[in-house]
Amino acid sequence: MDQNFQNLLKKYAELAVKVGLNLQPGQKLILQHLRNGGVPIETAPFIRELVASAYRAGSPLVDVQWRDDEVNLIRLREAPRDSFGEYASWRAQGVLEVIENGGAMFTISAIDPDLLAGQDPKVLDEQQRTFLENWKPISVHIGKNTMNWTVVSIPVEGWARKIFPDLPPEEQMPALWEAIFKICRVHEDDPVAAWETHLTNLKKRADYLNAKAYRELHYTAPGTDLRIGLPEGHIWRSAGFETRGGIPFTANIPTEEVFTLPDRHHISGTVRSTRPLVYTGNVIDNFSLTFKEGKVVDFSAEQGEKVLENLLNTDEGASMLGEVALVPDSSPISQSGLLFYNTLLDENASCHLALGGAYRFSLEDGENMSQEDFASHGGNTSLVHSDFMVGSGELDVDGVLEDGTVESVLRSGEWAF
């Protein structure tokens, strides 16, 4: 492997451990995958750098849960049709054992968006639902920031092919690595310092919005006219978090967003997606959702309408919103001009909303509320949390103050303050 590339891999791994996790000496670390519970074996060159960096930071034990996507394809092809409710629950237990005993969690986002194309949506839906049910206790810890955790994107071949179909095959992976290094500021002499400045700027935006405490946001763009109520006590956050024990960490690298939760009952109007949403490996594109009293009452999609329907029907909360996020259209990801078919990256290109559960820490005292209490304060609960993009250079967002005054928040996709 070329020395320069190996060097960048190492800098990226250091960034994930120092800024992402802020791994503390003595903390165990578990490595897994956000959507299916294992790190793809083809990401091993990066994972080895990350493991080395974690031990250098003083971790006594770094455990990697591996996964081979080909093995899952074999299961989808050969296994009995009624067997997709089965799950190797030790995988979730292994993660819980680490994070409930003071450890940290590293999560990888690496998927070939076409990997599951052509598979039976019913089987995929059952497999995904089973996974989510088994991982529910882990999602609860994520929602409460029990531990320091982070999500980082790593190229895999099928994914690189999807983004750069016109490049010769041998240039696709290097092109995707280069794009990721660029949007993650890895080319900076000191990426860790560059990230500290960037995170401070995001926090300033969140502080401004918190001081305003808008009771409603009004979105307008081609195909979009949507009013989103914000509940009393909502908190705008950036990805700079703190664990309950006081360890600061950055949940996503890259991150460009400030976000909060909507009031689940006060959302009305229509919103049109501006980028594709990849869900259970399937692409949903050019879709529209119409809300009434917080719930999706009508929807359509030019591509993947059935997948969208399955997503909306996962449970009651899946057809309601759990996140409102603002990202200026000039973000490095948007400027890259690339569509990544990967929520972690694409969501940071653009303003987005999420179907499904809200993060408890988006609401004052939300971490300590019962589910009923959280719901009555406007917080949505669901097995899913699926971000979809609504931002563009044509999006305007207004904020409505408590006294009814309307102020500009975004104009033509850029911050108006």
Q: How far is the CB of 295 from Zn ion (least distance, A)?
A: 19
Site membership for Zn ion, residue 323 (CB under 5 A): yes
- β-sheet bridge partners, residue 406: 400
Number of residues that bind Zn ion (CB under 5 A): 6
Q: Of 49 and 257, which CB lies nearer to Zn ion in the complex structure?
A: 257
Work out which of 387, 392, 398, 399 binds Zn ion, going by CB under 5 A: 387
> 121 near 306, Cβ under 8 Å?
yes
Site membership for Zn ion, residue 329 (CB under 5 A): no
Q: Select from 41-49, 125-133, 257-265, 392-400 the region that touches Zn ion (CB under 5 A).
A: 257-265
Q: How far is the CB of 127 from Zn ion (least distance, A)?
A: 22
Q: Of 21 and 349, which CB lies nearer to Zn ion in the complex structure?
A: 349
Q: Select from 21-29, 74-82, 243-251, 349-357 the region that touches Zn ion (CB under 5 A).
A: 349-357
Q: Which residue has the tokens 């960096």?
A: 53
Q: How far is the CB of 54 from Zn ion (least distance, A)?
A: 26
Q: Of 46 and 259, which CB lies nearer to Zn ion in the complex structure?
A: 259
> 319 near 312, Cβ under 8 Å?
yes
Q: How many CA atoms lie within 13 A of 125 on its CB side?
A: 13
Q: Of 105 and 325, which CB lies nearer to Zn ion in the complex structure?
A: 325
Q: Of 53 and 314, which CB lies nearer to Zn ion in the complex structure?
A: 314
Site membership for Zn ion, residue 325 (CB under 5 A): yes
Q: Are strands 29-33 and 62-64 parallel, antiparallel or unpaired?
A: parallel
Q: How far is the CB of 323 from Zn ion (least distance, A)?
A: 5
Q: Of 259 and 374, which CB lies nearer to Zn ion in the complex structure?
A: 259
Q: Is 283 exposed, middle or buried (0-12, 13-18, 19+ CB in 10 A)?
A: middle
The sign of the dihedral angle between the CA atoms of 390, 195, 335, 409 is positive
Q: How far is the CB of 324 from Zn ion (least distance, A)?
A: 9
Q: Of 164 and 249, which CB lies nearer to Zn ion in the complex structure?
A: 249
Q: How far is the CB of 189 from Zn ion (least distance, A)?
A: 29
Dist CA 229 CA 138 (whole Å) = 29
Q: Select from 143-151, 191-199, 212-220, 387-395 the region that touches Zn ion (CB under 5 A).
A: 387-395
The sign of the dihedral angle between the CA atoms of 319, 415, 391, 128 is negative
Site membership for Zn ion, residue 256 (CB under 5 A): no
Q: Which of residues 79-138 bind Zn ion (CB under 5 A)?
A: none
The sign of the dihedral angle between the CA atoms of 119, 124, 126, 131 is positive
Give the residue among 243, 37, 216, 46 at the shortest CA–CA distance from 141.
243
What's the length of the chain? Answer: 417
DSSP-assigned letter for residue 23: P
Site membership for Zn ion, residue 261 (CB under 5 A): no
H/E stretch holding 388: strand 385-389
The sign of the dihedral angle between the CA atoms of 228, 203, 389, 156 is negative
Work out which of 160, 321, 354, 395 binds Zn ion, going by CB under 5 A: 354
Amino acid at 310: N
Question: Pattern 148-177, binding to Zn ion, x per CB under 5 A?
Answer: ------------------------------
Give the residue among 93, 104, 138, 96 at the shortest CA–CA distance from 28.
104
Could you list the residues that contact Zn ion (CB under 5 A)? 257, 259, 323, 325, 354, 387
